[in-house]
């Protein structure tokens, strides 16, 4: 049977490689736009597929289902609430990004603030990729492939060596995509893998419901809805991992960073052929995120109803379900789809990393007058080094304490919100000075560190709920005390057509209604039962948080009026001055 699995795995994987080569063979990869941004030629479907595949990886598929197995549907918040951030991206930030003709987020930070701010943020991104994200993707991917192909029992290798060799294989294949094909090759492979992921991902809950119903799909659905309704509750209580009061505060701010300012994610939106296609891609991704709960959360609930608390660990819920319900003939296909998700997360992040290095570190520091061919060459060399470092680090993750991945996710909080604050303030405030970006990074790191020391038991989403307002206030206060001499003006780089998609607002409204409908369905007013743990504390926290945000918004508006008065008011003052003279 292992040969059946292997053949179907190779057939699908080789097809994806051929498709990527075929679609990119005419792209000029000697220029920075061609290599880093695919020649700014990506369409909405390609962008959406690449966004989703970069977002999805094996640790998310296994981890979220594991959390659902241990808690309830409340963990769907990480998926279902994402459209709000994506709508903000499509309507507010993407038009400005494309107007500026950006290649990287730090590129904008240099234009708005200064070169040092750009380089600090680029280094923070690169450190996060090299030390945490890329090795984790390799390690979790190696574990998944090992479980499907039973490589440990076949090879008799130690787990360390097995993870090292599988990580090396993934790294080499990813380098093939990134070095030989650039962003466009990775994006094209994501299009096919995205289709495969939808088919393969939906198979697991579908077959799981059959198993739950003893071979009858209707009975499985009935048991899912009525066997334990509390497991279907998506409204988190006080002690849950996602309390309901942070859905539109801390979780939203975290999502805005990820979907609207995180270089490894949004780089493919910079590669849109025009604003219309970019907005389509972002919002299509939002639609997919709403339905992502069907294979990122629901299988965990099905596993709980099938196995109860009899599994060794929560993270074994999804792999156990896959082995039990998936026919052997389809195992190779699912392995190939998961392999594609691993590759996508790795090579898209790697592509973003070398873009940051080439344009934000190598060119301004080492060779300011480098030609585009030199930048591409430097990026490729850096890709090899970064991939090698990630492969070496990956097997050592097995010696880390349990829960390290969740801990590392929280560590993003050290730098994510200052980047959000710098982008928002940078676009919507003309007089905040260049040094404000560096100051807010320092202030945020100190405050976030203090919460880890003195408020270690407090959910980090509560902390993020407060700190974004603090970060923005700090920057605005610095702008009020010592504003920049000349206002910042966002100039049109005229690299793509900025005509918006005619359905962007109606589609956004549809996404909001759909998101509300899904939450209503998985709540006590729908099919779920209350799991308890609610108190007035959440209401008080939300009220205080909204009041704080409202106060900062008022201060922002007042500051903008003071530093950049409306044209009509300025003309009136000038006329009065003339009369006095």
What total number of domains does the chain contain? 1
Helix, strand, coil in percent for the chain, rounding step 5: 80, 0, 20
Residue 34 has pLDDT above 70, yes or no: no
pLDDT at 568: 45
**60-74, 112-126, 405-419, 460-474: lowest mean pLDDT where?**
405-419
Q: Say which DSSP state 247 is in.
A: T
Of the pLDDT bands very low, low, confident and very high (cuts 50, 70, 90), residue 520 is: very high
- In terms of Cβ atoms closer than 10 Å to its own Cβ (0-12, 13-18, 19+), residue 567 is exposed
pLDDT attached to residue 20? 59
| Per-residue pLDDT tens digits for 68-83 | 998 999 999 999 999 9
In the predicted model, is pLDDT for residue 236 greater than 80? yes
Sign of CA dihedral 183, 186, 192, 195: negative
Q: What average pLDDT does this structure show over 209-234?
A: 94
Burial of 419 (0-12, 13-18, 19+ CB in 10 A): buried
> Does residue 47 register a pLDDT over 80?
yes
In a domain, residue 214? The reply is yes
Tokens of 202: 């939906």
User: Is it the case that residue 521 has pLDDT exceeding 80?
Assistant: yes
Which one is predicted more confidently, 61 or 304?
A: 304
At residue 191, the pLDDT reads: 61
| pLDDT on residue 570 | 44
Average pLDDT over residues 506-510: 97
pLDDT tier, 578 (very low <50, low <70, confident <90, very high otherwise): very low
Q: Flag whether pLDDT at 182 surpasses 50.
A: no
Which pLDDT belongs to residue 180?
54
| Cα gap 288→191, rounded to integer Å | 13
pLDDT bucket at 150, cuts 50 / 70 / 90 = confident
Bigger pLDDT: 209 vs 63 = 209
414 lies in some domain: yes
* Full-model pTM: 0.83
pLDDT number for residue 95: 95
Q: Which residue has the higher pLDDT, 26 or 360?
A: 360
Residue 225 lies in a domain: yes
Q: Which of 128, 126, 108, 127 is nearest to 118 (CA)?
A: 108
Q: What is the pLDDT of residues 449-472, one digit of tens each?
A: 999 888 878 889 999 999 999 999
Cβ contact 124:263 at 8 Å: no
Select the more confidently predicted residue: 329 or 548: 548
Model pLDDT, residue 581 = 44
Residue 402: band (very low, low, confident or very high) from pLDDT cuts 50, 70, 90:
very low
d(CA 343, CA 196): 14
Whether the predicted pLDDT of 122 surpasses 90: no
**What confidence category does residue 571 fall into, taking pLDDT thresholds of 50, 70 and 90?**
very low
Higher pLDDT among residues 167 and 316, named by residue: 167
At residue 322, the pLDDT reads 84
Average confidence score pLDDT of the chain: 83
Assess whether pLDDT exceeds 50 at residue 572.
no
Question: Which residues, in sequence order, are CB contacts of 481 under 8 Å at separation 6+?
Answer: none
| Candidate from 125-139, 253-267, 395-409, 458-472 with smallest mean pLDDT | 395-409
Query: How far is CA 344 from each of CA 18, 207, 443, rounded to the nearest angstrom?
Result: 16, 26, 35
CATH of the domain at 102: 1.20.1730.10
pLDDT value at 204 more than 50: yes
> Has residue 26 been placed in a domain?
no
Please indicate, yes or no, if residue 25 is contained in any of the structural domains: no
Residue 42 is predicted with a pLDDT of 80
Instruction: Return the higher-pLDDT residue of 196 and 503.
Output: 503
pLDDT score of 481 more than 50:
yes
Q: Is residue 432 over pLDDT 50?
A: yes
Residue 179: pLDDT band with limits 50, 70, 90: low
Integer Cα distance of 185 and 381 in angstroms:
18
Judged against a pLDDT cut of 80, whether residue 112 lies above it is answered with: yes
Radius of gyration of the chain (CA): 24
Residue 27 lies in a domain: no
Q: In this predicted structure, what is the pLDDT of residue 192?
A: 65
Containing structural domain, residue 251 = 2-20+32-580
Phi and psi of 102, rounded to 5°?
A: -70, 150
Give the distance from CA 504 to its chain's centroid.
21
pLDDT surpassing 80 at residue 152: no
Whole-number Å distance between alpha carbons of 180 and 184: 10
Instruction: Kindly state the tokens that stand for 55.
Output: 């977002």
Least confident of 313-317, 367-371, 481-485, 515-519: 313-317
| 335 or 439, greater pLDDT | 439
């Amino acid at each position: 049977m292992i040969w059946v699995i292997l053949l179907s795995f190779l057939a699908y994987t080789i097809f994806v490689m051929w498709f990527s080569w075929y679609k990119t063979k005419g792209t000029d990869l000697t220029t920075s736009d061609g290599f880093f941004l695919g020649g700014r030629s990506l369409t909405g479907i390609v962008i959406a597929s690449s966004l989703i595949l970069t977002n999805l990886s094996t640790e998310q598929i296994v981890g979220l289902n594991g959390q659902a197995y241990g808690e309830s549907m409340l963990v769907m918040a990480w998926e279902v609430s994402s459209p709000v951030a994506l709508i903000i991206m499509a309507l507010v930030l993407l038009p400005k990004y494309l107007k500026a003709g950006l290649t990287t987020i730090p590129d904008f930070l240099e234009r708005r603030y200064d070169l040092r701010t750009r380089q600090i943020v680029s280094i923070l991104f690169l450190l996060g990729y090299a030390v945490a994200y890329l090795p984790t993707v390799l390690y979790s991917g190696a574990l998944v492939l090992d479980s499907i192909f039973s490589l440990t029992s076949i090879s008799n290798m130690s787990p360390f060596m097995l993870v090292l060799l599988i990580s090396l294989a993934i790294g080499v294949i990813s380098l093939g995509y990134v070095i030989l094909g650039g962003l466009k090759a990775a994006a094209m492979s994501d299009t096919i893998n995205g289709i495969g992921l939808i088919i393969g991902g939906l198979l697991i809950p579908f077959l799981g419901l059959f198993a739950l119903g003893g071979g009858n799909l209707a009975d499985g659905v009935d048991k899912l809805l009525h066997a334990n309704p509390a497991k279907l509750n998506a409204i988190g209580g006080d002690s849950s991992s996602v309390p309901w009061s942070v859905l539109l505060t801390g979780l939203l701010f975290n999502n805005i960073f990820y979907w609207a300012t995180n270089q490894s994610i949004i780089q493919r939106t910079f590669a849109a052929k025009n604003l219309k296609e970019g907005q389509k891609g972002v919002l299509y991704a939002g639609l997919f995120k709403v339905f992502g709960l069907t294979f990122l959360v629901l299988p965990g609930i099905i596993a709980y109803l099938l196995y109860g608390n009899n599994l060794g660990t929560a993270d074994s819920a999804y792999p156990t379900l896959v082995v039990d319900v998936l026919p052997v003939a389809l195992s190779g296909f699912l392995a190939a789809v998961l392999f594609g998700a691993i590759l996508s997360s790795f090579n898209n992040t790697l592509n973003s990393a070398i873009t940051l290095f080439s344009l934000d570190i190598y060119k301004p520091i080492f060779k300011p007058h480098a030609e585009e061919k030199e930048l591409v060459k430097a990026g490729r060399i850096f890709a090899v080094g970064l991939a090698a470092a990630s492969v070496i680090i990956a097997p050592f993750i097995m010696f880390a304490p349990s829960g390290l991945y969740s801990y590392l996710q929280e560590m993003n909080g050290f730098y994510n919100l200052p980047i959000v604050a710098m982008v928002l303030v940078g676009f919507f405030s003309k007089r905040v000075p260049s040094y404000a970006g560096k100051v807010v990074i320092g202030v945020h790191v100190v405050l976030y560190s203090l919460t880890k020391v003195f408020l270690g038991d407090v959910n980090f989403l509560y902390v993020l709920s407060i700190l974004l307002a603090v970060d923005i206030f700090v920057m605005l206060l610095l702008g009020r005390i010592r504003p920049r001499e000349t206002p910042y003006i966002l100039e049109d780089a005229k690299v793509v057509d900025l005509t918006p998609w005619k359905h962007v607002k109606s589609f956004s409204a549809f996404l909001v209604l759909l998101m509300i409908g899904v939450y209503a369905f998985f709540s006590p007013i729908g099919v779920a039962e209350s799991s308890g743990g609610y108190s007035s504390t959440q209401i008080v926290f939300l009220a205080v948080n909204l009041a704080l945000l409202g106060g900062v918004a008022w201060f922002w508006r007042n500051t903008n009026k003071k530093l950049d008065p409306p044209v009509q008011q300025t003309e009136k003052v000038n006329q009065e001055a003339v009369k006095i003279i």
